[in-house]
Chain A
Amino acid sequence: MLMNQRAAADTSEVNEMALRAARTLARAIGDSEIFSRFEAAQDAFQADETARNRLRAYQARQQELRVSAMWGGAGPEEQLALEREWQELSRLPTLQASLQAQEALRELFRDVAGRITREIGVDYGAACSPAGGCC
């Protein structure tokens, strides 16, 4: 009984240490240049109302097409128009910078998650994504 209690206390202490190490890791990521750039790029994009509105319109259109594709209604020319709109959109400086900063951060995250996956033997990304929700 006493042994079990002690084991339980040890377990929670060791788990607490792992959670503390996770917090330290998060702060190190937060302090990295990649993360500062990501935040700055996000802020700049949020401040760019034109780019934000165009992206929102694009996403609404994309959603519409996705729904109508399920009913077999979306034509290839509509799909093409959407792709062209994306090509134009992705040339907007604030959006482009934001996408690049996101990709750099994603790469840093993949590096960290990949280390954990290799060392622990359980896929960190898969364990932490909602089912099938990586995209």
Chain B
Amino acid sequence: MDTSGNDGRARVRQCADEFIAALRATSVVQRFADAQRRFDTDPEVQAVLETLQRRADGFQRAQQAGDVRPAQVREIRDAQTRVQAHPLVREFVEAREAVGVFLQETNLVISEVLGVDLGQTAGPAGGAC
């Protein structure tokens, strides 16, 4: 039982912060942080993202006006391909997946101790539940 005199929440928060610090020290999380920083700041990545966004907006406007050109669909697909094929975008996606895999591993450890699934119970952030 909790012996700190409160309901144990403060201890949970403290342990959560220590867990986060330990996560930050791992190479998967560091790789992801690097990948995210490059993704966010690389002018080329930002340019292909902007192009995709602009074409998607244009497509939506054309759709509302009932005036979609066949070429617009191809242009969006081209922009999507250019985003997905960019090495920094791929690195970002791969690094994020690797963090997800490691987080699942930590979640398994937590679930084993508690007999309740932390991740599944918490659900995705901003989820409908």
Query: Contacts A32-B8, A108-B9, A116-B20 known; A128 to B25 CB distance under 8 Å?
Result: no
Contacts of A80 in B (CB 8 A): none
Query: Contacts A29-B12, A112-B16 known; A125 to B100 CB distance under 8 Å?
Result: no
Q: Is A113 touching B118 in the complex (CB atoms < 8 A)?
A: yes
Count of A-B residue pairs with CB < 8 Å: 182
Query: Contacts A23-B113, A112-B16 known; A28 to B119 CB distance under 8 Å?
Result: no
Q: How many residues of A contact B (CB 8 A)?
A: 51
Contacts of B36 in A (CB 8 A): 121
Interface size class of B (residues with CB under 8 A): 35 or more
User: Using an 8 Å CB-CB cutoff, how does the interface string of A1-42 with B read, 1 for contact, 0 for none?
Assistant: 000000000010011011111111111111111111010000
Interface SS of chain A: helix, strand, loop or mixed?
helix
Q: Is A21 touching B18 in the complex (CB atoms < 8 A)?
A: yes
User: Using an 8 Å CB-CB cutoff, how does the interface string of B84-117 with A read, 1 for contact, 0 for none?
Assistant: 0000000000001001101111110110111011
Chain A positions near chain B (C-beta within 8 angstroms): 11, 14-15, 17-36, 38, 105-106, 108-117, 119-130, 133-135
